[in-house]
């Protein structure tokens, strides 16, 4: 039996579905969206096939020759959903939509093009664009780049203003003044999510209390309307203005609010504070655009939140959506799913795709193949240095003791990751931590001379935490892993309570400053040197700020040798750094200088701070120094160079320490839950890890760390002179080299040198066997495009596949 609440929910859903069917009946064929033929007047028509009552609507002439076919298709998609028809624009409440184009496809320029059309041909006056704060300056610059206020000739180009409510607007009064000016003049308001939250929060009713801010005599006179002096009158007017601020903010941002709201990185709406989500939902206009680079099946509840924002009630309540779609689809994507589970999941995905296809447009990075030069991605699996070998062996023994003792309150996957990263990036980082711990102990000893250090004995397995039913609790509490995915901080410092006794003996006589103790930094520096010699620019990403500090330290002692001169590395001259502490206004200056200055060679970037909203296409090479828990962060980092506007071939180098936790995390990224999750495009990692899964991450075969001779590199050919010049000299540091060819097609790929299979045998025999080969390195995009790699194990060749 349905309750009244369920019945009302069902009626709302049916009404929304009926409206969408009617809208879909009127709209143009989706195949016509990307036709880029110019009209007789040399213009791009936006509303092709419009009703006789509507005039032709064209793209701005300043953007006509800029847009790629998929971008014009995106603009037309936005027009069909947001404007629909000029004749009905003022009478229709409007609809919302989701532009789900992968990173690097130019979502920003599509929105800018559409906003210019909206403000030019309709009665709409105000648009608010809500963005992550680290992208807000980039949005402003993109408006200035594509449709500046004035051209170089002095001719007026953009007919509307763009207001930036960023870090530079410090006081509350100034923020309100800027919002009032935007409300009065119209145009585009750029604002960060956090700023939006604070402003909306300021409009909430406060608890009743004593009136503050005005002297008693002014408050009393105010009641009778009798300010007695000029100063009292000014105070009264200022107070009245402040009391009116909430009304101004609410009127401008909520009700009646803007004519269009755009939410960038919209998949984060679910993870934002509830008051922001509530404020976004309270915006009166139904003309809403969400931008995201993620596919439908990446995280179903995130997509539910986005769909519910752009089309309220379309999918019903969260509970209804979970029962109808989320649970059946998840059940069919597990490694132990039954055939029936898989069948039901596919049916539910098909139904959901059909329901949403009218207002979600998905385009993937494969479109870049037709636009950009080739991109190659290499994974360099590195051996451990002798010191790293000793340290990691000691850590694994310590970790197994902690796991068997059930000490999950102190030891969890995040802390294991934090400790291990100090080993695999460079032992200098671990030495710094040990020195900090010693200093803490010295200070504690000075405060309390009887505060002795006690070395714990490992607990018995029987002492592990137990549930109420008496069973040992094997789930590791790791909620903070989600914080690693969402926030920017130095993960290497997230080790509170972690013991470092296991490192003390191996590091007893250690001296910092010897680069050869960590092969990652050695190879990173030599790849950088080779890149500089051929006059190309490089990016180095790391999620660890201490690793970036270390690189800067080694740069200060290393010469910069170009093809014509030898000089020194100088910060903010020939290299730059961007991390979470870099102010928003300063970020754009650094980016512009790096892109425009031919003497700039290197950009050091924190993965979380610099993986969104920045364009660094002047660089053609990129090093990912360490693997993130969340593979999306690494993918976003790569898209800083492999994106629309890149003119050169790009080369990506991922440095992974072999036979350790980092390699296990990398495997987990690219083969999450096996081949059943081929509907996933950029899979997120789980925030909770079981004890068994943690033990798997820490599996260690010490026999693989025995000393090897150098490889026979005479036949190695990677198609990259920089990589070849380095690995042929440093082959003793390499366990494997994996080539990920981003832009090559499987049907046209021929075997690399050394693999003697004829093409016919390759296509007819090897390809069908790929799913059964092991080990398999894979990420399958939703349209099942695959690319092939080769890895060398001595004299044998193993095959794998990746994106």
- pLDDT, tens only, 123-145: 999 999 999 888 898 899 999 99
Would you place residue 462 in the very low, low, confident or very high pLDDT band (cuts 50, 70, 90)? very low
Residues 6+ apart with CB under 8 A from 783: 364, 366
Would you place residue 588 in the very low, low, confident or very high pLDDT band (cuts 50, 70, 90)? confident
- What residues are paired with 791 via a beta bridge? 798
Distance CA 392, CA 383 (A): 12
Residue 724 structure tokens: 């070849």
pLDDT on residue 240: 52
Give the 3-state secondary structure of residue 165. Answer: strand
Q: Which of 27-41, 332-346, 389-403 has the lowest mean pLDDT?
A: 27-41
Tell me, yes or no, if the two domains 21-203+254-364 and 375-743 fold the same way.
Answer: yes
Give per-residue pLDDT as tens, 464-501: 344 444 443 433 333 333 333 344 444 455 566 677 88
pLDDT on residue 428: 93
- Residue 358, CA distances (Å) to 70, 89, 198, 269, 298 in order: 16, 19, 34, 21, 19
CA nearest neighbour of 296 among 679, 686, 786: 679
- Residue 305, CA distances (Å) to 214, 314, 323, 358, 713 in order: 44, 11, 15, 17, 52
- Tell which phi-psi region holds residue 257, choosing left (phi > 0), alpha (psi between -120 and 50) or beta: left
CA nearest neighbour of 318 among 334, 301, 335, 331: 301
CA nearest neighbour of 166 among 586, 469, 473: 586
Residue 629 confidence (pLDDT) above 80: no
Span 161-182, average pLDDT: 91
- Tell which phi-psi region holds residue 587, choosing left (phi > 0), alpha (psi between -120 and 50) or beta: alpha
> Where along the chain do its domains lie?
21-203+254-364, 375-743, 752-803
Mean of all residue pLDDT scores within the chain: 76
Architecture of domain 21-203+254-364: 3-Layer(aba) Sandwich (3.40)
Strands laid side by side in the 126-131 sheet: 162-165, 187-192, 126-131, 260-263, 288-291, 97-101, 360-363
- First-residue to last-residue Cα distance in the chain: 48
pTM score > 0.85 for this model? no
Q: Which of 42-46, 296-300, 506-510, 724-728 has the lowest mean pLDDT?
A: 296-300
Distance CA 613, CA 108 (A): 9
pLDDT on residue 667: 79
Q: Where are the beta strands (DSSP E) in 126-183?
A: 126-131, 162-165
CA angle in degrees (0–180, nearest 5) for 3-355-68: 150
* Domain 375-743 indexed as CATH 3.40.50.300: yes
**pLDDT above 70 covers what percent of the chain?**
71
Instruction: Return the higher-pLDDT residue of 802 and 180.
Output: 180
Residue 569 confidence (pLDDT) above 70: yes
Span 563-569, average pLDDT: 91
pLDDT on residue 444: 75
pLDDT on residue 686: 38
Distance CA 626, CA 610 (A): 15
Q: Give the CB-side neighbour count of residue 507, counting CA atoms within 13 A.
A: 25
Most confident of 417-426, 684-693, 738-747: 417-426
């Amino acid at each position: 039996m349905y309750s009244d609440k369920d019945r009302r929910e069902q009626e709302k859903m049916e009404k929304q579905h009926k409206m969408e069917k009617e809208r879909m009946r009127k709209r143009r064929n989706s195949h016509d969206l990307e036709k880029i033929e110019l009209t007789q007047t040399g213009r791009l028509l936006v509303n092709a096939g419009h009703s006789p009552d509507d005039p032709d609507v064209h793209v701005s002439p300043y953007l006509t020759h800029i847009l790629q076919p998929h971008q014009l298709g995106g603009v037309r998609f936005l027009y069909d959903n947001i404007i629909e028809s000029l004749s009905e624009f003022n009478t229709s409440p409007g609809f919302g939509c989701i532009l789900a184009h992968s990173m690097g496809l130019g979502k920003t320029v599509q929105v800018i093009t559409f906003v210019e059309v909206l403000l030019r041909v309709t009665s709409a006056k105000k648009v608010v664009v809500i963005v992550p704060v680290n992208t807000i300056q980039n949005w402003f610059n993109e408006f200035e780049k594509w449709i500046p206020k004035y051209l170089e000739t002095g001719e007026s180009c953009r007919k509307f203003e763009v207001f930036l409510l960023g870090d530079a607007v410090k006081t509350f009064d100034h923020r309100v003044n800027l919002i009032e000016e935007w409300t009065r003049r119209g145009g585009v308001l750029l604002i960060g999510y956090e700023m939006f939250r604070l402003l909306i929060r300021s409009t909430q009713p406060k608890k009743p209390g004593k009136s503050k801010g005005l002297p008693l005599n002014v408050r009393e006179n105010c009641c009778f309307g009798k300010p007695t002096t000029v100063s009292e009158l000014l105070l009264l007017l200022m107070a009245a203005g402040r009391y009116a601020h909430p009304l101004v903010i609410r009127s401008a941002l909520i009700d009646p609010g803007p004519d269009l709201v755009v939410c960038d990185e919209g998949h984060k709406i679910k993870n934002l504070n509830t008051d922001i989500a509530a404020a976004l939902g309270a915006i009166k206009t139904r003309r809403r655009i969400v931008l995201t680079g993620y596919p439908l099946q990446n995280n179903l509840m995130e997509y539910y939140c986005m769909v519910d924002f752009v089309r309220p009630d379309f999918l019903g309540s969260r509970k209804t959506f979970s029962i109808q779609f989320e649970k059946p689809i998840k059940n069919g994507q597990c490694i132990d799913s039954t055939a029936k589970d898989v069948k039901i999941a596919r049916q539910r995905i098909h139904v959901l795709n059909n329901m949403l296809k009218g207002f979600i447009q998905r385009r993937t990075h494969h479109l870049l193949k037709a636009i950009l030069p080739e991109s190659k991605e290499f994974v360099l699996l590195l051996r451990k240095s002798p010191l790293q070998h000793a340290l990691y062996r000691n850590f694994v023994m310590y970790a197994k003791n902690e796991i068997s003792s059930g000490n999950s309150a102190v030891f969890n996957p995040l802390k294991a990751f934090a400790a291990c990263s100090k080993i695999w990036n460079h032992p200098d980082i671990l030495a710094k931590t040990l020195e900090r711990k010693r200093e803490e102990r010295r200070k504690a000893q000075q405060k309390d001379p009887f505060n002795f250090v006690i070395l714990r004995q490992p607990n018995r397995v029987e002492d592990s935490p137990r549930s109420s039913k008496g069973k040992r609790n094997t789930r590791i509490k790791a909620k903070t892993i989600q914080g690693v995915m969402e926030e920017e901080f130095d993960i290497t410092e997230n080790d509170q309570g972690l013991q470092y006794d296991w490192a003390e003996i191996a590091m007893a006589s250690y001296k910092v400053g010897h680069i050869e103790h960590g092969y990652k930094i050695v190879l990173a520096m030599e790849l950088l040197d080779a890149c500089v010699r051929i006059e190309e620019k490089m990016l180095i990403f790391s999620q660890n700020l201490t690793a970036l500090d270390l690189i800067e330290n080694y740069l200060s002692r290393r010469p910069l040798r170009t093809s014509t001169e030898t000089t020194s590395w100088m910060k903010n001259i020939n290299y730059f750094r961007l991390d979470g502490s870099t102010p928003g206004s300063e970020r754009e200056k650094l980016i512009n200088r790096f892109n425009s200055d031919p003497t700039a060679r290197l950009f050091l970037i924190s993965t979380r701070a610099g993986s969104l909203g920045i364009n660094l296409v002047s660089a053609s090479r990129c090093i990912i120094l360490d693997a993130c828990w969340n593979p999306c962060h690494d993918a976003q980092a790569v898209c800083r160079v492999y994106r629309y506007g890149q003119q050169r071939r790009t080369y990506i180098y991922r440095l992974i320490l072999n036979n350790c936790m980092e390699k296990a995390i990398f495997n987990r990224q690219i083969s999450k839950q096996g081949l059943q999750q081929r509907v996933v495009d950029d899979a997120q990692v789980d925030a909770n890890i079981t004890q068994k899964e943690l033990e798997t991450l820490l599996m260690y075969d010490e026999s693989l760390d025995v000393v090897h001779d150098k490889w026979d590199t005479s036949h190695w050919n990677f198609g990259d002179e920089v990589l070849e010049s380095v690995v042929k000299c440093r082959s003793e540091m390499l366990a494997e080299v994996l080539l990920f060819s981003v832009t090559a097609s499987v049907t046209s790929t021929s075997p690399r040198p050394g693999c003697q299979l004829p093409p016919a045998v390759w296509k007819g025999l090897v390809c069908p066997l790929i799913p059964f080969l092991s080990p398999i390195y894979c990420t399958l995009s939703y349209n099942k495009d695959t690319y092939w790699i080769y890895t060398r194990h001595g004299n044998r060749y193993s095959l794998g596949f990746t994106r």
